[in-house]
């Protein structure tokens, strides 16, 4: 087997990380409106989350079945553990955080399920555009809450030096505090997006590279250690799928809470 053929087999295994256009549409300036496999799997994940909660809401019982029990556990997890510290003022965002958590977790798990090449397998959270899009929604909610509850002067004032600082120090420090806080506000969605993207794509890269090695050597003896590693890694990735959805959701709560109670 030539080195070129071996490289092609490893590259073929990594093909799952490529965004592939499914329905080609004309561009709108620099924006490509084509529907890709990333978009398809985002739609599938969104549909699964919607159907799951819709079915539960239509068949509520005093004695819950297994499906309702899972739904109640998720709801208690979101309203208790994830958003318990946000208080009454942020109660309206309980279901936003629950949706973010279940949506990210569903996309992560869907990406771990082996699929034939004809289905154009892809994990949306392994795309920085997808993770940044979700992080940008959180950013908009945070800024909306800050300006709506405190007004322009009150919210921007919370970015300046705290009360009690001598005026002689406060005037020059206000500029420093403002710039640092402004940069922090823009880095919040960036950190959310990169953290989810990086952890997702790293795990998939390791799994796909090991599978590529199995394909490359075509030997049962050589394949046993990589396959054992892949199985163990898949189990670990299920845990990572939960942790990354949890971290993204928890940080979203913290950012929203900081805007609601800005200056307190």
Distance between CA 71 and CA 9 in Å, rounded?
Answer: 42
Number of Cβ within a 10 Å radius of residue 90: 19
What percent of the chain is predicted at pLDDT more than 90?
A: 17
Give the structural domain span for 22.
3-260
pLDDT at position 140 over 60: yes
Fill in the DSSP letter of residue 124: G
**Ramachandran area for residue 20 (φ above 0: left; ψ -120 to 50: alpha; else beta):** beta
Beta bridge partners of 32: 27
The confidence score (pLDDT) of residue 1 equals: 47
Beta bridge partners of 28: 31
The confidence score (pLDDT) of residue 6 equals: 47
Cβ-based neighbours of 7, under 8 Å, separated by 6 or more: none
pLDDT at position 147 over 60: yes
Are 114 and 137 a contacting pair, CB within 8 Å? Answer: no
Work out the pLDDT band at 14, boundaries 50, 70, 90.
low
The pLDDT of 168-179, averaged and rounded, is 81
Distance between CA 122 and CA 102 in Å, rounded?
Answer: 18
Beta bridge partners of 31: 28
pTM value is 0.82
Query: When comparing pLDDT for 228 and 142, which is higher?
Result: 142
Number of Cβ within a 10 Å radius of residue 196: 26
Distance between CA 98 and CA 91 in Å, rounded?
Answer: 12
The confidence score (pLDDT) of residue 257 equals: 85
The pLDDT of 5-26, averaged and rounded, is 65
Work out the pLDDT band at 48, boundaries 50, 70, 90.
very high
Work out the pLDDT band at 168, boundaries 50, 70, 90.
confident
Q: What is the pLDDT of residues 100-136, one digit of tens each?
A: 999 999 999 988 887 777 888 888 898 898 999 999 9
Are 10 and 209 a contacting pair, CB within 8 Å? Answer: yes
Q: How many residues does the chain have?
A: 264
Residue with tokens 């510290």: 85
Most confident of 80-84, 118-122, 222-226, 228-232: 118-122
Are 92 and 13 a contacting pair, CB within 8 Å? Answer: no
Number of domains in the chain: 1
Instruction: Give me Rg for the CA atoms of the chain.
Output: 23
């Amino acid at each position: 087997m030539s080195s070129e053929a071996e490289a092609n087999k490893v590259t073929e295994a990594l093909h799952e990380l490529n965004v592939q256009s499914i329905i080609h549409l004309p561009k709108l300036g620099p924006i490509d409106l084509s529907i890709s496999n990333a978009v398809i799997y985002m739609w599938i994940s969104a549909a699964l989350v919607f159907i799951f909660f819709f079915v539960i809401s239509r068949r509520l019982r005093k004695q819950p079945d297994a499906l309702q029990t899972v739904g109640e556990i998720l709801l208690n997890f979101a309203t208790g553990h994830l958003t318990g510290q946000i208080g009454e003022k942020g109660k309206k965002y309980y279901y936003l955080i629950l949706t973010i958590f279940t949506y990210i977790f569903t996309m992560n798990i869907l990406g771990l399920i082996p699929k034939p090449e004809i289905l154009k397998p892809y994990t949306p959270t392994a795309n920085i555009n997808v993770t940044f899009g979700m992080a940008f929604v959180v950013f908009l909610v945070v800024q909306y809450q800050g300006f709506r509850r405190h007004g322009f002067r009150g919210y921007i004032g919370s970015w300046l030096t705290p009360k009690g600082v001598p005026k002689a120090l406060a005037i020059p420090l206000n500029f420093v505090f403002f710039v640092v806080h402004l940069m922090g506000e823009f880095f919040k969605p960036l950190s959310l997006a990169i953290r989810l993207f990086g952890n997702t794509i790293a795990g998939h890269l390791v799994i796909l590279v090991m599978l590529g090695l199995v394909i490359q050597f075509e030997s049962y003896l050589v394949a046993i250690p990589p396959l054992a590693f892949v199985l163990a890694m898949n189990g670990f990735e299920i845990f990572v799928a939960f942790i990354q959805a949890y971290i993204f959701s928890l940080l979203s709560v913290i950012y929203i809470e900081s805007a609601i109670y800005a200056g307190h």
